[in-house]
Chain A
Amino acid sequence: MRVRTSNSIHNAATKYRYLMLFTLPALIFYVVFAVYPLFATFVISLFQTTNGDGSFIGLDNYVYLFTDPTQSGHFWHALLNNLEFFAIHLIVQLPIGLLLAALITSDAVRRLTGFYRTILFIPATLSVVIVGFIWRMIISPLWGIIGFPLLGTEATALPTLSLMSIWQWIGIPMIFLYTALIAIPKDILEAARVDGASGMRTFWAIKFPLIRPQFGLITILTFIWTMNGFDLIYSLMGGAPGPNYSTDILGTFFFRTFFGFNNVVGDTDYGAAVATVIFLFILISTAGYFFVLQRRLKPHEL
């Protein structure tokens, strides 16, 4: 196809100009509200403010974060808790999401597919405060059905919060896997049925390998979302969460340093340093993941 030139709406320059104009509003929003604050946060973290006057101190905030025993103790503890939160989240939600997606696409719920799809996704649309408060009431020893104090015991608090979070967000991996499952061409499945494969064999031998790349995507998205997680834990457990900081994750650690807690006044510069460190951690982990693993998970050509 020859590219027509000059005085034509298909001119490359015109196309480019229209492209820029139509993306400009979104681009401005993105730069102003997402990119600029990231850089501004890093700049803030290089200062120290006493009584309203800021003074440039370079990377001292970062040195303080990693060398002070109390602060670095809290940070690494929060990081480990967050990784535990992520691990439980991932390991439990993948089988359940897969099961739900498989059930919805199977012949078992032929007529009510839409209905089940909707109600399984509804918790993801609920406010996290509602989810947290209602679940806390359900598992409360006083008003609920469980006598053991799950949220108040060090060993069970974080897994319980993980499970609440999974309950809320199960719709997301379910939808990912569901769309991958319905994208499988019907003739392959028919051929399998003609060859005499049972339902289970069809699933594990044909469907599962074809949707495997989705697991990588779900994993990395879950990682980013749980590392950024904050609202459920903060609304249920407060600013210094958990029995003995056992539910303290990176988000709540940052909140505590930036906005303060109890009688400790928030330190915005030091908090900005914490935020930058968290951002860099997520960035490096995600980039590493994409370089190492995602390249290997190629979607099959159908």
Chain B
Amino acid sequence: MKSRIAPVAITVAAVMMALAGCSGGSGDSGGGSDQVTLQFESWRPEDAAIWNSKIIPVFEKDNPGIKVQFAPTKATEYDAALKTRLQGGTAGDLITCRSGALNRENIEAGFIEPLKGFTGLSNFDDLSLSYWASTNGDPYCVPVASVMAAFFYNKDIFTELNLSVPKTNAEYMSVLQAIKSNGKYVPLAFGATPGDAWVLAYMGLYSEGPNYWHGEEGRQGLIDGSKKFTDPEFVQALAALKSWTPFMPDGRASVTYSDATQLFALGKAAIFPSGSWDISAVTGSTGLDVGVFAPPLPKAGDQLYVQSHPDMGIGINAASQHKKEAQVFLNWVASPAFQTIYANALPGFFGMGKEPAKLDNPLAQAWADLKVGAELTPRVEDILSGGNPDFETTIENSLQLMMTTDKSPEAVADETQKGLENWYKPQMK
């Protein structure tokens, strides 16, 4: 007997499935009229536990009626995912802002709420605010954390081999040579694999380089076109980086960033050029006695320059439905109270307020002490990044080849300068 229901049922099922596939609902910040939940975008899922247990409860206790939901995305996917969410109108109320060109794109597109007249901003100096400002200089995000780059070292190995902390490049080279001659340990936990070439830039060139190109003097010179990357000070910085290669692990072209961290954390390497964000990775459960020293000076008596890169800011989504509550949260973020909690919960991420926070972690304090008497400079690539070809990708590619083949520092400088001149107007004259 022919069934009349079957065809109808199948059609209805097909249509329902199609509709189910098409429906997309983004969860919005729910809650009733007296309870507001703010969604907080971030690229640090590693910090989720600390935010949820140590930082957010303090805020929620003082502000009943406002709940904050920490909703991180993996760092490598954050920028693309955030842009998609901002364009689709489903982004959270609070946004962790990258510093520099990436964030400026979002600002120009009108995705971030301007913070003009925001009282909390008086806790920060103009330079800090400028990293999260529009091209006009208007502030858009509250500075939260900066990170530094320097050299971790294993104190026990240094004691065993009778070494002292190097201050100049000559001392640094002789320390490395002494460790290599001893043969028991790898002198430098530093890899040059192409997938992690950013390490060569961020913790290599941009860490030891400012001592050669005099920090902001060199960086601003590149930005306004008065200096070229082929100038002698930049080539010297590249040559200094290349001189590390005999002391890197065997097969350094396949040593990744996590390999290098492991080498150091297992006590097999003496020196680990890295950033302050790795404080938790090298101490704690490893049981190592770790110290830190600043990038070596070209010669004794030179001015010390240390990389202090503005990493994280927090801003408000321009399309947020809860801007008032978000501003309350930002007010708290701008206060010294938050900075102290944050700096101690996440050692290595330094607050940027005018009042430096007191740090409990001795290694974090040692990092902060590096700033004393030093001139600070962020990583070179801020305004120079992006473009066709991308400055950062070009230089990382060239650095990787310089550290693993016989490519010369002059060739790297040439390639980088040519790449810049292809699109960056101040360098095109």
A residues 12-35 in Cβ contact with B at 8 Å: 14, 17-18, 21-22, 24-25, 28-29, 32-33
CA distance A259 to B81 in the complex (A): 9
- Smallest CB separation, A229 vs chain B (Å): 17
Query: Once the chains bind, are A264 and B385 in contact (CB under 8 Å)?
Result: yes
Query: Once the chains bind, are A153 and B404 in contact (CB under 8 Å)?
Result: yes
Q: Which residues of B contact A24 (CB under 8 A)?
A: 10-11, 14
CB-based nearest A residue for B106? A265
Query: Once the chains bind, are A52 and B87 in contact (CB under 8 Å)?
Result: yes
Q: Which residues of A contact B2 (CB under 8 A)?
A: 9, 14
Task: Tell me whether A243 and B194 are in contact in the complex, defined as CB-CB below 8 angstroms, given that A70-B422, A142-B259, A263-B385 are known contacts.
Answer: yes
Q: Which residues of A contact B390 (CB under 8 A)?
A: 261-264
Q: Which of B11, B14, B194, B381 is A238 in contact with, Cβ under 8 Å? A: B194
- Smallest CB separation, B212 vs chain A (Å): 23
A140 at the interface (CB under 8 A from B): yes
Query: Once the chains bind, are A265 and B251 in contact (CB under 8 Å)?
Result: no
CA distance A256 to B80 in the complex (A): 11
Query: Once the chains bind, are B102 and A263 in contact (CB under 8 Å)?
Result: yes
B25 at the interface (CB under 8 A from A): no
Q: Which residues of A contact B253 (CB under 8 A)?
A: 149, 151-153, 243
Task: Tell me whether A140 and B80 are in contact in the complex, defined as CB-CB below 8 angstroms, given that A150-B254, A262-B198, A265-B102 are known contacts.
Answer: no
- Smallest CB separation, A10 vs chain B (Å): 12
Instruction: Render B5-36 as a binary contact track against A, CB cut-off 8 A, 1 for contact.
Output: 01100110110011001100000000000000
Stretch at the interface among B216-224, B289-297, B393-401: B393-401
Query: Once the chains bind, are B17 and A28 in contact (CB under 8 Å)?
Result: yes
Query: Once the chains bind, are B386 and A265 in contact (CB under 8 Å)?
Result: yes
Q: Which residues of B contact A154 (CB under 8 A)?
A: 405
B residues 231-259 in Cβ contact with A at 8 Å: 249-255, 259
A139 at the interface (CB under 8 A from B): yes
Query: Once the chains bind, are B392 and A263 in contact (CB under 8 Å)?
Result: yes
Query: Once the chains bind, are A151 and B254 in contact (CB under 8 Å)?
Result: yes
Instruction: Render B177-212 as a binary contact track against A, CB cut-off 8 A, 1 for contact.
Output: 000000000000000111110100000000000000
Q: Which of A51, A141, A143, A264 is B393 in contact with, Cβ under 8 Å? A: A264
CB-based nearest B residue for A28? B18
- Smallest CB separation, B174 vs chain A (Å): 25
Task: Tell me whether A25 and B13 are in contact in the complex, defined as CB-CB below 8 angstroms, given that A142-B263, A264-B386, A264-B390 are known contacts.
Answer: yes
A213 at the interface (CB under 8 A from B): no
Query: Once the chains bind, are A262 and B252 in contact (CB under 8 Å)?
Result: no
Task: Tell me whether A237 and B195 are in contact in the complex, defined as CB-CB below 8 angstroms, given that A140-B254, A141-B249, A142-B263 are known contacts.
Answer: yes
A260 at the interface (CB under 8 A from B): yes
Query: Once the chains bind, are A245 and B249 in contact (CB under 8 Å)?
Result: no
Most buried by B among A52, A68, A240, A245: A240
Q: Which of B13, B22, B80, B400 is A243 in contact with, Cβ under 8 Å? A: B400
CA distance A14 to B7 in the complex (A): 11
Query: Once the chains bind, are A141 and B254 in contact (CB under 8 Å)?
Result: yes
CA distance A257 to B335 in the complex (A): 40
Q: Which residues of B contact A52 (CB under 8 A)?
A: 87, 109-110
A171 at the interface (CB under 8 A from B): no
- Smallest CB separation, A194 vs chain B (Å): 56
Query: Once the chains bind, are B10 and A241 in contact (CB under 8 Å)?
Result: no
A residues 148-164 in Cβ contact with B at 8 Å: 148-154, 157
Q: Which residues of B contact A266 (CB under 8 A)?
A: 80, 83
CA distance A150 to B110 in the complex (A): 46
A97 at the interface (CB under 8 A from B): no
Query: Once the chains bind, are A147 and B251 in contact (CB under 8 Å)?
Result: yes
Instruction: Render B125-151 as a binary contact track against A, CB cut-off 8 A, 1 for contact.
Output: 000000000000000000000000000
CA distance A60 to B422 in the complex (A): 20
CA distance A264 to B105 in the complex (A): 10
B79 at the interface (CB under 8 A from A): yes
Q: Which residues of A contact B198 (CB under 8 A)?
A: 262
Q: Which residues of A contact B13 (CB under 8 A)?
A: 25
CB-based nearest B residue for A27? B14
Query: Once the chains bind, are A17 and B7 in contact (CB under 8 Å)?
Result: yes
- Smallest CB separation, B266 vs chain A (Å): 10
Query: Once the chains bind, are A140 and B259 in contact (CB under 8 Å)?
Result: yes
CA distance A259 to B255 in the complex (A): 27
Instruction: Render A222-265 as a binary contact track against B, CB cut-off 8 A, 1 for contact.
Output: 00000000000000111011111101000000000001111111
Query: Once the chains bind, are A244 and B11 in contact (CB under 8 Å)?
Result: no
Q: Which of B105, B110, B385, B397 is A244 in contact with, Cβ under 8 Å? A: B397
CA distance A28 to B20 in the complex (A): 12
CB-based nearest A residue for B422? A70
Query: Once the chains bind, are B102 and A240 in contact (CB under 8 Å)?
Result: no
Q: Which residues of B contact A152 (CB under 8 A)?
A: 192-194, 251-255, 404
Task: Tell me whether A262 and B385 are in contact in the complex, defined as CB-CB below 8 angstroms, given that A21-B7, A236-B195 are known contacts.
Answer: yes
CB-based nearest B residue for A140? B254
Q: Which residues of A contact B101 (CB under 8 A)?
A: 263, 265
A118 at the interface (CB under 8 A from B): no
CA distance A151 to B422 in the complex (A): 30
Query: Once the chains bind, are B11 and A70 in contact (CB under 8 Å)?
Result: no
- Smallest CB separation, B98 vs chain A (Å): 9
CA distance A9 to B7 in the complex (A): 14
Query: Once the chains bind, are A141 and B192 in contact (CB under 8 Å)?
Result: no
CA distance A157 to B253 in the complex (A): 11
List 15 contacting pairs A-B, 8 Å CB cutoff, sorted by A: A9-B2, A14-B2, A21-B10, A21-B11, A25-B17, A28-B14, A32-B18, A141-B250, A141-B255, A149-B251, A149-B254, A245-B397, A247-B194, A261-B390, A263-B391
The 8 closest A-B pairs by CB, nearest first: A141-B251, A152-B253, A263-B385, A149-B254, A149-B253, A149-B251, A238-B195, A152-B254
Q: Which B positions have Cβ atoms within 8 angstroms of A?
A: 2, 6-7, 10-11, 13-14, 17-18, 21-22, 79-80, 83, 87, 100-102, 105, 108-110, 192-196, 198, 249-255, 259, 263, 381, 385-393, 396-397, 400-401, 404-405, 422
Taking A70-B388, A243-B404, A264-B390 as given, write out 7 further A-B residue pairs in contact, using a Cβ cutoff of 8 Å, ordered by the A residue number: A29-B21, A32-B18, A33-B21, A51-B109, A149-B252, A238-B196, A265-B386
